[in-house]
Structure 1
Amino acid sequence: MTAFALRRHVTATETEHATVLFDQRRGRYYQLNPTGALILRVLLDGGGPQGAARALRERYGIPVARAEADVASLVDTLRRTRLAER
């Protein structure tokens, strides 16, 4: 799998309670909840989907299948909305 990356026109800013993504081309903001922010942070740091799922399991104590599904869902959404590279 190739490294995960946001598109060049998308910036990520961590706030006290979430992460905000700004799509400069469309002038739109997107807010990730703490779970989404954790997934994104691990992915951007090169941890890959497995690392992100492991971080979710460690932080929230959720089953493996749910953690993997949550990561896959966020990655799919970010790619489908053209916020992340394919």
Structure 2
Amino acid sequence: MSVEMRLREDVSTAITEYGMVLLDERTGRYWQINPVGTVILEHLAHGVDAVVGSLTSRFDVDSDQARADVDAFLRQLSTNGLVAT
């Protein structure tokens, strides 16, 4: 996804030993985010290229696969109403 995204202001985050937890304060729903999703969220403010670079340097993944994974993850966040553009 090429549109700049960020978590909505009413989505709280907490780092855990397994990644990150998101809380949608509007609905009370929680999401457990794995370490890859955590890296994506931590670097999202710097743009998708920065996220892809971080993923390829930390995990055994090429840039095409990393970009596809980032796009899929962001679509899931958007589908669940957790992001703002």
Structure-1-length-normalised TM-score: 0.89
Q: Deviations over 1:59-85 (max 9, x none)?
A: 013111100001111111111110011
Aligned to 1:37: 38
Question: Given the alignment of the two structures, is residue 9 of structure 1 paired with residue 10 of structure 2, yes or no?
Answer: yes
- Secondary structure of 2:83's counterpart equals coil
Instruction: Give distance in 2, aligned partners of 1:63 and 1:18.
Output: 21
The equivalent of 1:67 in structure 2 is 66
Query: 2:67 and 2:58 mapped to 1: Cα distance?
Result: 14
Alpha-carbon distance in 1 for matches of 2:67, 2:33: 17
> Which structure dedicates a bigger proportion of its chain to strand?
2
Return closer, same or farther for 1:50/1:80 CA change in 2, 3 Å cut-off. same
Runs of 4+ in 1 over 6 A off after TM superposition: none
- Summarize the alignment of residues 44-63 of structure 1 with structure 2, pairs less than 5 Å apart: 46-63=45-62
Secondary structure (helix, strand or coil) at the match of 2:5 reads: coil
Number of aligned residues:
84
Q: Which amino acid aligns with 1:78?
A: L
Gaps of 5+ in 1: none
- Unaligned stretches of 5+ residues in structure 2: none
Measured on the aligned residues, the alpha-carbon RMSD in Å equals 1.4
